Structure 1
Amino acid sequence: MKPVRRELKPIEVIVAEVLEEVERKRLSLRLTMERYFSDNPDLYPVKGVIRAFSLAVLRNFRLLDTIIKCVFDLQADRLSPFMRNLLRAVVYEIVFRDIKSNRIKALTKYFKGQLNITYKDFRILRGLEIREVLKGYGGLERLAVRYSQPLWVVKYLVKILGEDETIKLLKRFNEPATLWIRVNTLKISTEGLLKRLRGRGLSVVRDDVFFDTLKIEKVRSALSRLPEYKERLFYIQDKASILVGHIVSPEANQLILDACAAPGSKTTHLAQLSALRARIIATDISLSRLLFLKKYSKEAGFDNIDIFVADARAYRSPVKFDKILVDPDCSSLGILGHSPEVRLWIKESYIKTYADIQYSILRNVLEMVKRNGLIVYSTCTFTVEENECNVKRLLEEFGNEVELVEHEPFIGRRGLLGFRQMQRLYPHVHDTIGFTISVLKKIK
């Protein structure tokens, strides 16, 4: 007897279910999709489509909500998470993809009895001009709606970049993020992996700065399904994050602390760059994420990493380190394009909260680095409070013990507030996620 095959849900409904989970639990889209498709393996063939569609809705959520208010006189934030995201998905399809009428008719049944939106109502969206929707908005509020960002984020970016460059950045945030991978050169050469991936039909090019970095220009399916990924021949990691490992530049016999290590992209890169000859101590406050690091390290062959659960604000080591990497949680303004779900819950108050935590970590690890040792401090955000101001505060409090120094590789722009030794990377300029990096040297 053949198994009964269940009817495939409309793509829009699947997207709504995924985004409902993202909203309710404030989880990343990546993790939510992993869980969703693990529970629904028969839907795996459409995973790539669902991911692309979900990203498109997230990158336009505020504009879609504005359209919903203008056309249907509905406040999206008053709807249930599922209904809100289903309506966003359908509106996106009609306005930006011009889907066929019979598909719209089939989807209207999901709104009966709840919103009572009919096929005729949806037809109004045909040929809708975005400029008409934005007519009631001016200045920075117009930019915030058009590019679906919190208004405070737009104001902040204009303050540090100016309006013209902010528009370029906002546009880049709403385009597909560039996909970078780091080659596990302990298992395969960069050229060897390049040939294997091209042999599978991927469009891949070597990075012109880092020997262990490849740029994926075209992919047919999820990279995590490739045999090369399962063999741990590469790690999916942004070029800005890869840059950090090269700045730390671990050497044989050095003792290095990665104070905020999980999930481990930079930790494993440090192990790799040292050819397993440096000893890496990886600490993090999250046990679950450290377990992933432990599992991955074993599978990838990184046996020079010792892993401990610890709060970097209070961790004390009986020995001092040659180098310490501090890459703490932050306000995440640099990944608003790569991970647009962050836009749904990010608040301006997070800046001070994270800045205080970050400074506590910097202050603590300063006691654990050797004289002439280095602290590499990096964040995936643009705020001066979490970067330049934290460095300034540390120099003011411990100026006789530490100094801000130049570093290499330097591929970004100079820091703000006169901190030219710091570097900043921007998606619209450097084709990476947003990052800010500083290097501090212990002088006493």
Structure 2
Amino acid sequence: MISPARWTAYHTLVRVAKDQAYVNLALQHALAKRELSDRDKALATEIAYGTVRRQLTIDQLLAPYVRRGLRSMESETLTILRMSVYQLSWLSKLPAYAVTSDAVELAKRVNPRSASFVNAVLRSYLRDGTDWEKRLDSLREDFDDIAQLSLLHSYPRWMVTRLVATYGRERADAILAAGNRPGVTSVRVNALRASVESVTSALAAQGIVDIERGSLYDGALRIMGAIDVERLDLYRDGLLTVQDEGAMLIAPLLRPEPGMRILDMCAAPGGKTTQIAELMRDTGVIDAYDVYMAKVQTIADACSRLHIASVRARLGDGRDVLGDPPYDAVLVDAPCSGLGVMRRRPDIRQRRTEADVAALTALQADLLRHACRIVKPGGYVVYATCTLLPEENEQVVLRVIDELEGAVSLDDIAGDLPASLADRVTVGLTLTPEMFATDGFYMARLRRN
């Protein structure tokens, strides 16, 4: 009998490979199809995310055992081999016999002709040892430094090249390594309905005691271990929101106050929108836009769950929003390459290309430029991304400031950030994943003159 966790992980990964599905959505779909124990859910998640995260390295490790080349293989067979090598080399506590046995059984179910081939490849792989770092040492001897980092951390060469150029070799190495460590679950307490202390006590009453206070945001809690927060009554009753602690720093930069009229130009899924509403005590108006109706509904659903009434979830492009009258403040949480969130979105490594960056910077500048035109004099525009590339971050901000010829100016955000980050502010702040075990974000604030 195939392990339910491996069966679920396989169906997730084959959808990613064949249908170009996002791993998080494919996994949700697979988990919804069958009832798994918490332990099996955790294992299925680790196998699915880990296999995608380490795919580049896995393929290098597999290549010597597949004479005809990996590209010639059927997706189903290659998926089975990839997820099996991930388990054998990165999840060493799993019995090798269980991994190989389930791999062969999977092959028999989905592509019977490949079962003996899968068995032979995995047995050969096991005979040569499963210490992947030792294996890589021999493969990396003839590679340059960028290629070695790419292979070690499993990122495409162009990403490694950009990060090394921006942050230097040592820090880039740390950033890449951080992107391979699963993130803890951070939650933001809904201050309209609860306190950090009351939520901590309620979690403890349910046996969830491995909790830490956030180090960057007062309303944050970090929950250790594999917890499905969305199944908790606290979540369903609107007392907390799942949100990376680094992301929690962005909405307060708007300096929202009760009664304000604020625009969130790219609002889905609604985490920052609802945080703004909480900071405004759910008074005033927040117009929250997205270009897809399904995402607009996600914003509306989040507001409903949190009992927030001040948000108007709207379908539309933020660049078309009229500022009549002008807004008190505008948030531009711009679409980006996502290089700061690859631990949670590992398929970005396969999906993003270097060519995407140029197209994104044009969109980002358009959004920021329009935001600056529809905010009132003296009002703030906060520009944020979840990427680490200066081309999408400070260079966009400086470009728009220059183009608007004195209409807006860069505002100092150091006083609105934790003391541990204040001295890192230059043209805004880039928060990288290795600093505080958060996702990576960029944030800057402009003021309309």
Task: Provide the TM-score with structure 1 as the length reference.
Answer: 0.91
> Which of 236, 247, 250 does residue 242 from structure 2 map onto?
236
| Aligned twin of 2:27 | 33
Written as runs of structure 1 = structure 2, the 5 A alignment for 1:165-314 is: 165-202=171-208, 203-219=210-226, 221-314=227-320
Is 1:414–1:421's contact at 8 Å kept on the other side of the alignment? no
Secondary structure of residue in 1 paired with 2:192: coil
CA–CA distance in structure 2, aligned partners of residues 386 and 370 of structure 1: 25
| Secondary structure of the structure 2 residue equivalent to 1:313 | helix
Closer, same or farther in 2 for the Cα pair 1:352/1:414, shift >3 Å?
farther
Contact 1:261 1:282 in 2 (8 A): yes
Distance 1:439 1:118 in 2: 54
| 8 A Cα contact 1:134 1:146, kept in partner | no
One-letter amino acid of the counterpart of residue 377, structure 1 = Y
**Is the 1:19–1:85 contact (alpha carbons within 8 Å) kept by the matching residues of 2?**
yes
User: Is this contact kept in 2: 1:374–1:441, CA < 8 A?
Assistant: yes
Matching residue within 29, 32, 35 for 1:42: 35
Give how far 1:157 is off.
0.5
Give 1:42's aligned amino acid. Answer: E
1:364 and 2:370 correspond: yes
Partner residue of 1:101?
97
2:54 is the counterpart of 1:60: yes
Deviation at 1:41, TM superposition (A): 2.9
Residue of structure 1 in register with 2:74 after alignment: 80
| 1:333 paired residue number | 339
Q: Deviations over 1:32-84 (max 9, x none)?
A: 2222222x133465222211221221221111111110233353344333322
Mapping of residues 82-161 of structure 1, within 5 Å: 82-98=76-92, 99-101=95-97, 103-111=99-107, 112-114=112-114, 116-117=116-117, 119-126=119-126, 127-129=129-131, 130-137=133-140, 138=143, 139-161=145-167
Tell me the residue number matched to 1:4: none
Amino acid at match of 1:427: P
| Paired residues of 1:37 and 1:44 also in contact (CA < 8 A) | no
Structure 1 residue 166: deviation in Å?
1.2
Distance 1:96 1:252, change over 3 A: closer
- Cα separation, partners in 2 of 1:186 and 1:432, compared to 1, 3 Å: same
Other structure's SS at 1:69 match = helix
Cα distance, 1:269 vs structure 2: 0.4
Q: Using the TM superposition, give the Cα deviation of residue 232 of structure 1 relative to its aligned residue in structure 2, in angstroms.
A: 1.6
* Aligned equivalents of 1:108, 1:31: Cα separation in 2: 26
Q: Which residue of 1 aligns with 2:390?
A: 384
The letter of the residue matching 1:123 is R
Return the alpha-carbon distance in structure 2 between the equivalents of residues 33 and 69 of structure 1: 27
Change (3 A) 1:302 1:286: same
Tell me if structure 1 keeps the 8 A contact 2:377–2:448.
Answer: yes
Note the alpha carbon deviations across 1:380-429, whole angstroms, 9 max, x for none: 001111111111111111131000010142344777xxx81410101111
- Name the CA shift for 1:165/1:103 in 2 (closer, same or farther; >3 Å): closer
8 Å CA contact 2:251, 2:276 repeated in 1: yes
Read off the aligned partner of 1:100 and give its amino acid letter.
A
Q: Secondary structure at the match of 2:416?
A: coil
Other structure's SS at 1:337 match: coil
Task: Describe the SS at the equivalent of 2:392.
Answer: coil
Q: Tell me, in whole angstroms, the C-alpha distance in 2 between the residues paired with 1:240 and 1:317.
A: 29
Cα distance change on mapping 1:36 and 1:108 into 2, 3 Å: closer
User: How many residues of Structure 1 are paired with residues of Structure 2 in the alignment?
Assistant: 432
Residue 3 of structure 1: aligned partner: none
Q: What is the aligned-residue identity percentage?
A: 23
Q: CA deviation at 1:135?
A: 2.3
Residue 437, structure 1, aligned to residue 431, structure 2: no
Q: Is the CA contact (8 Å cut-off) linking 2:88 and 2:99 kept in structure 1?
A: no
Q: Cα gap change, 1:44/1:315 in structure 2, threshold over 3 Å: closer, same or farther?
A: farther
**Which amino acid counterpart does residue 108 of structure 1 have in structure 2?**
V
Compared CA separation, residues 27 and 105, structure 1 to 2 (3 A) = closer
Q: 1:73 to 1:128 in 2, by over 3 A?
A: farther
Query: Which range moved further: 54-63 or 148-157?
Result: 54-63
Instruction: Identify the residue that residue 71 of structure 1 maps to in structure 2.
Output: 65
Structure 2 counterpart of 1:12, which letter?
R
User: 1:105 Cα deviation (Å)?
Assistant: 3.6
Aligned partners of 1:12 and 1:86 also within 8 Å: no
Letter of the 1:35 counterpart: H
1:187 positional shift: 1.2
Residues in 2 aligned to 1:263 and 1:119: alpha-carbon distance in whole angstroms: 43
In 1, Cα distance between the equivalents of 2:43 and 2:376?
A: 50
What is the alpha-carbon distance in structure 2 between the residues aligned to residue 133 and residue 254 of structure 1? Answer: 56
1:117 aligned counterpart, secondary structure = helix
* Partner in structure 1 of residue 361 of structure 2: 355
Does structure 2 conserve the Cα–Cα contact (< 8 Å) formed by 1:204 and 1:218? no
**What is the rounded CA distance, in whole Å, between the counterparts of 2:103 and 2:53 in structure 1?**
22
Runs of 5+ in structure 1 lacking a partner?
1-6
Question: For the Cα contact (< 8 Å) 1:424–1:436, is it kept in 2?
Answer: yes
1:114: how far off?
3.0
Q: 2:136, 2:117 → 1: CA distance? A: 19
Please give the alpha-carbon distance, in whole angstroms, between the structure 2 residues aligned to 1:108 and 1:263.
40
CA distance in 2, matches of 1:208, 1:200: 24
